[in-house]
Structures are given as structure tokens and as C-alpha cells.
Amino acid sequence: MRDDAPVAVASRSFSRDARLRHELFQRYSHARFNDTGHTLVGDTLVEFLRGHAKAITGLETLDEAVFCAVPELRVVSKYGVGLDMIDVDAARRHGVRIWWTPGVNRQAVAELTVCLMIALCRRILPLALGVREGTWHQPVGRQLSSATVGILGCGHVGQQVARLCRAFDAAVLAHDIRAYDEFYRETAVRPVTLDTLLAESDILTIHVPLDASTRGMIGARELARMKASAFLLNTARGGIIDETALKHALVEGRLAGAACDVFAEEPPRDPGLLTLPTFLATPHIGGSTQESVLAMGRAAIAGLDGLDGAVDLTSLA
């Protein structure tokens, strides 16, 4: 039976997928989609959400002002896994339930992470550009199988990255505020302190959420603890790495290379970082696979009714 409650789909990624639109209409009779191709912000977002009891959002910021302006909004289902755009406390105060399905894009992000690791280890980007420009250099790279990979944040994505790296026979270290002892035993991953992770990793990859405790977590001090031969990756959230400190470390040769799929400001605007031959940037595509888009979209549809593993964040302490 189809539900007559009006649904506003603010997520542009969900909105441009014909399969997800069709599947949403199978469950809900009335839906409005964001066909602008842009992330909705401020008054534009408020106007889009007005008159809707339920919404699916992605990168849109939902804060006190939005909840105040749209009192009819009762349910928000998150497309994707990042929660830094939603003020859950404000939602709770306004009686809005926030449904979220963790780990739904873990495979896509994990595969991109390993792809970036190999690209750094083999210097794929500068060498490919060199061939295009007529140069033919053959520097010696390194194998992922001989590296010690450090995983900062061993939740859904971090664990999948660990599994893939272990399949390459890499040694894997992990640091997390939570204990994942059974996973560590099953996969031969070694839990360590943050300082040990920084000091011993040949490749350090970040998989923590962005919140007050992780913003700027990797700054000048942490970069100084890393090996000069090490690589740093961030496919989690922008703002976790101090990008200015990272630029200085790369320019001064205190870090061999870095790759980021996410930035504090998107798109990033610092040519001093983006044009470095030791830096590889991708445009926040971690979850942008056909399989992941469908998985995230279907989870968001289910979340409108609190189904299929969705978590009501406003009910958590």
C-alpha cells in the first residue's frame, strides 16, 4: 500500500537516479525531487522542504534554523553515512526523527581507498601525466603487500579497508576509541595507540567521522610523528586533516605523498596543495558507484519508515 505523506528528496544524487525515483514512487504517492543539480542551502532548502512531513537529505545542512522554519517536517532519512551536516540535538528539540543506516557505502569507499594507496605507492598520477606530455620515467615504487597500513577509525569502512589490505598481505595496525577485539583477532589486525599508529605506518588512512573531537585531528604535530617516507589518505570527511599543515609537510619533504577525496571546503581552492606532484585529489567520489548509490538510496527509502536496519539517531543518548 502506498503512503500519501509528501516526501521531499533534497539529495541531488538520489534525485538524478531513475531507479531510485521509481522505487520511491512505489512506496510514496507524492514526492518532490531536487533536479537543480546543486546542493540546497539556507532559504532555498527551507522552501524546498516546506509542506513535507518526510524528507531524504544528503549533503544538506539541517540545523536549528531549518527545523524552526519547517515545523511540519517530522522525519528525515539520511542518504549516505556522514552525519556532520545534521544537528541531531536540534532535531530532537523540534520532534524530528532522524533515521540513518550505518556502513551502507563501506565497500565503495574501501575500494577507492585501496585504489588511492596503490596510486601513491606506484606514483600513478605524475607518471601517467608525464607519459601524456612525452616523458618516459620509470622510478621504482613499492608494493602494498610490503607496507604497514595504519587505519585511523576501525568502524564499518575502516574494517573493510583492513580486510582488503590483509588480502594483499599487508600488515595492518588500527586505532579507534572503541574496542573491536573480535575483529582484530579474526583479521590479525594489531590495535595500537595513536602515536604508535602515526610512527609505524607506511600508509595512514583516515576513517573517523567528523565531529568536535576529530576536527583538525591530524595537524602539524601528528604529521611530524609520521615517517618521511609515509603516505596519508583521507576518504572520510574534510576538516579532519589540517590541509595547510599537510601542504607544508609535502612541500618540505617531511611526507612522501597524500591523497584526499574530501576537503574542508569543497571544491578545494588552494593551488599550492592541489598542484603538488605528491598530492592526489579526487572530487568526493567515495560513495559514487552504481552499487553504492542504489544501496544508499534504498536504505534512505527504508529509513522513511524506520525499516531494514535504520537507526533513529534522535532516540540515542
Q: What's the rounded Cα separation, in Å, for the pair 49 and 86?
A: 15
Residue 248 is among the residues annotated as catalytic for this protein = no
Give the sign of the dihedral formed by CA 293, CA 294, CA 300, CA 306: negative
Q: Are 153 and 173 in contact (CB under 8 A)?
A: no
Residue 284 is among the residues annotated as catalytic for this protein = yes
Residue 237 is among the residues annotated as catalytic for this protein = yes
Longest dimension (CA), the chain: 63
Coil, strand, or helix at residue 159? Answer: helix
Q: Are 281 and 258 in contact (CB under 8 A)?
A: no
Amino acid at position 209, single letter: P
Q: Which of 97, 123, 237, 243 is catalytic?
A: 237
Q: Quick one: cell of 290?
A: 552504481
Q: Which of 21, 32, 92, 284 is catalytic?
A: 284
Q: Which of 266, 269, 291, 298 is catalytic?
A: 266
Q: Quick one: cell of 214?
A: 576529530
Work out the angle between the directed axes of helices 124-132 and 106-121 (0-180°, nearest 10).
60
Q: Are 185 and 219 in contact (CB under 8 A)?
A: no
What is the chain's Cα-based Rg?
Answer: 21
Q: What's the rounded Cα separation, in Å, for the pair 69 and 46?
A: 7
Q: How many CB atoms lie within 10 A of CB 84?
A: 15
Contacts of 1 (CB under 8 A, 6+ apart): none
- Residues belonging to the active site: 237, 266, 284
